[in-house]
Amino acid sequence: MAQNEKIRLGILFGGRSGEHEVSLMSSNSVFKVLDPKRYAVTPIGITREGHWVVGENIWQALGSGNTQSLRRAVLLPEPRSRTLYVQEMRAGQNVLTPYVDLDVIFPVLHGTFGEDGTLQGLFEMIDVAYVGGGVLASSVGMDKALFKDVMRANDIPVVNSILVTRNEIEKHIEKVLAQAENVAAYPLFVKPVNMGSSVGVSKCRNRPDLLEGLMDAAQYDRRILIERGVNAREIEVSVLGNSDPMVSIPGEIVPGEEFYSYTAKYAEDSQSLLEIPARLDPALTRRIQDLALQAYRAIDGAGMARVDFLLDKDSQEVFISEVNTIPGFTQISMYPKLWEASGIPYPQLIDRLVDLAFERKAERDRTVYQYGRSK
């Protein structure tokens, strides 16, 4: 890339997960601060059905579901071409025409098929630079059960839990209920392993609640976590960087409901608040920041992540709850807000993330993939 040339950046959003709308909001905020003097930006949408699309007024079109005016786009899994093609029917033939070449892709998609490593696998195949964690960090970050196992292996404290399958719930419910009640006294939390936005998460106060919670969660995933319910403050920190990541000051979520449910997160009339900085003593702040960096390294995090904690109000114990490798990115989202409060304004944060994507790509290019072959 010549010095004076613009960076050709594809911003990717929408997608097939339940967090489609959140992605539209986050990506639009990112798009608005990308400096047109520095970047030649191509917005690339993914419809709810999974079609990639480009064209005018794309956020509006995806938001309304009215995507007829948009053109279909595809990336081919060819290393190093990094070309986005438009796909059109001409005289009954399916024709691919080069649309734009991309230097870097900024995926702003949450949840399945975006944040879980699937998309990152495609980027690796194409050999393009991309913002955020790689395949492994993304998939481990997404899978709440595997994530907890990795934390346990690294002596990072997590809340007691067991993993059960949909099949066990359907065939051996009595056994599952007994095992669950062995984890801890009620309340217990039930959640699908691969979800986000609190979809399928429930707080269960007794056996009938638990039964209902398990049935609900089993709709969303084959694997279900049952956790001790912590009387908790919810503390979050932002991490930024590749091999030498930095960590922000902590923020606190004060949910407007009994826990930070889907409606507490997104409802128009939600009473949930972000408190930045979180009111914590310096020792606890440092402990949370250290654990966040340890967790980030343990999953081979890159680029960014928001690391969420449960702070037990009764015992003051800290537990890591989850890592979000593509956190919310609206102007009022915790991830950018924490950086702003830590001295990195939103536009600079975006520039830094793009730089980190190139840095990581350069690092990857140093790796030799075949024995006895040098680059």
Contacts to ligand ADP by CB under 6 A = 159, 189, 191, 195-198, 201, 227-230, 232, 234, 255, 259-260, 308, 310, 321-322
The least distance separating ligand ADP from the CB of residue 59, rounded to whole angstroms, comes to 24
* Closer to ligand ADP by Cβ: residue 41 or 158: 158
Beta-carbon contacts of residue 133 (< 8 Å; ≥ 6 apart): 120, 141, 299, 300, 301, 302, 303, 304, 305, 325
* Closer to ligand ADP by Cβ: residue 16 or 191: 191
* Closer to ligand ADP by Cβ: residue 75 or 334: 334
- Dmax (CA) for the chain in angstroms is 70
The least distance separating ligand ADP from the CB of residue 289, rounded to whole angstroms, comes to 19
The least distance separating ligand ADP from the CB of residue 310, rounded to whole angstroms, comes to 6
The least distance separating ligand ADP from the CB of residue 194, rounded to whole angstroms, comes to 9
* Closer to ligand ADP by Cβ: residue 105 or 224: 224
The least distance separating ligand ADP from the CB of residue 127, rounded to whole angstroms, comes to 31
d(CA 11, CA 244): 25
Is the CA virtual torsion 333, 339, 340, 342 positive or negative? positive
The least distance separating ligand ADP from the CB of residue 87, rounded to whole angstroms, comes to 34
**Cα 135 to Cα 74, 130, 233, distances in angstroms:** 20, 11, 31
Q: Which two tokens stand for residue 7?
A: 């960076």
* Closer to ligand ADP by Cβ: residue 103 or 143: 143
Q: Which two tokens stand for residue 49?
A: 């059905």
* Closer to ligand ADP by Cβ: residue 76 or 184: 184
Q: Which residue's Cβ has the minimum distance to ligand ADP?
A: 260
Q: What SS3 string covers 208-273?
A: HHHHHHHHHHHHHCCEEEEEECCCEEEEEEEEEECCCCEECCCEEEECCCCCCCHHHHHCCCCCCE
d(CA 188, CA 214): 11
